Chain A
Amino acid sequence: SQQGEEDPQALSIQEGENATMNCSYKTSINNLQWYRQNSGRGLVHLILIRSNEREKHSGRLRVTLDTSKKSSSLLITASRAADTASYFCATDGTGGYNKLIFGAGTRLAVHP
């Protein structure tokens, strides 16, 4: 079963708007990662946040982590058409080693 659940499943916005995606997970984690996938291609790593961190920034991306609520959010500011993709959160859970457990993903469409 999947560790994470993403919300919303799909998001449609205009260029320039902000996009927020949420992820919830079930078990304790060491870190949480966000990935982007374009049209069924490989996953591109966006950001990793460790369990002792609450917020992290990378360019137009802002990730928050609330371990008490077992949830994370990804904010993309000033969205561009090129941001159109599926976004996944992944946790390491208690499975150990490099075993990532993915959520179902959010499909983001940014319209020019």
Chain B
Amino acid sequence: KAGVTQTPRYLIKTRGQQVTLSCSPISGHRSVSWYQQTPGQGLQFLFEYFSETQRNKGNFPGRFSGRQFSNSRSEMNVSTLELGDSALYLCASSPDRQRDTQYFGPGTRLTVL
């Protein structure tokens, strides 16, 4: 099976802009989770979607949002970008069962200038 794919791999934006990142899970996986990784805060959970429903959300401001489509593909959106949003954004997918292994994509490196 193909792994988790994320597009784009690299992105440069300026403050105040918005950005949309995309994630395609492993075929058959219905759960998609998003994480932010920064040198200062490490890896932090953003949110998780299962069957197009957000099941869990991390402690991030409302500027961070996401959605999942019927084919399990997911997007996350960050509006009104701030310098501190510069990070590696990782997507992970897992099968139906809860608390199972999560398989990560290569990430999208977002730089906010």
Residues of B within 8 A of A40 (CB): 37, 88, 107, 109
B102 x A42 contact (CB < 8 A): no
Given A42-B105, A42-B107, A43-B104, A97-B45 contact (CB < 8 Å): no
Number of interface residues of B (CB under 8 A): 29
Set of chain A residues within 8 Å of B37, measured between Cβ atoms = 40
**Contact flags B86-102 to A (C-beta < 8 A → 1, else 0):** 00101010100011111
A84 within 8 A of B: no
Instruction: Give the total of A residues in contact with B, Cβ under 8 Å.
Output: 26
Kindly state the separation between the CA atoms of A79 and B78 in the bound complex, as whole angstroms. 40
Which A residue sits closest to B104, measured CB to CB? A43
Chain B hits for A102, CB < 8 A: 35, 42-44
| Complex CA distance for A5 and B42, rounded to whole angstroms | 11
| Stretch of B11-19, B48-56, B65-73 that contacts chain A | B48-56
Cβ contact within 8 Å between B101 and A41: no
Contacts between chains A and B (CB distance < 8 A), count: 74
Chain B contacts for A35, CB-based, 8 A: 104
User: Is the CB–CB distance between A101 and B45 below 8 Å?
Assistant: yes
Q: How far is the CB of B99 from chain A (nearest CB, A)?
A: 5
Q: Interface stretch among A15-23, A57-65, A88-96?
A: A88-96
Identify the B interface with A (CB < 8 A). 4, 31, 33, 35, 37, 42-45, 48, 50, 55-56, 58, 88, 90, 92, 94, 98-107, 109
User: Which residues of A pack against B, CB within 8 Å?
Assistant: 2, 30-31, 33, 35, 40-45, 48, 88, 90, 92, 95-105
What are 11 pairs between A and B in contact, CB < 8 Å?
Answer: A2-B42, A33-B101, A33-B102, A40-B107, A40-B109, A41-B107, A43-B90, A92-B99, A97-B48, A97-B50, A100-B35
- Excluding A30-B99, A88-B43, 5 further A-B contacts by CB distance (< 8 Å) are A41-B106, A43-B90, A98-B100, A102-B35, A102-B43
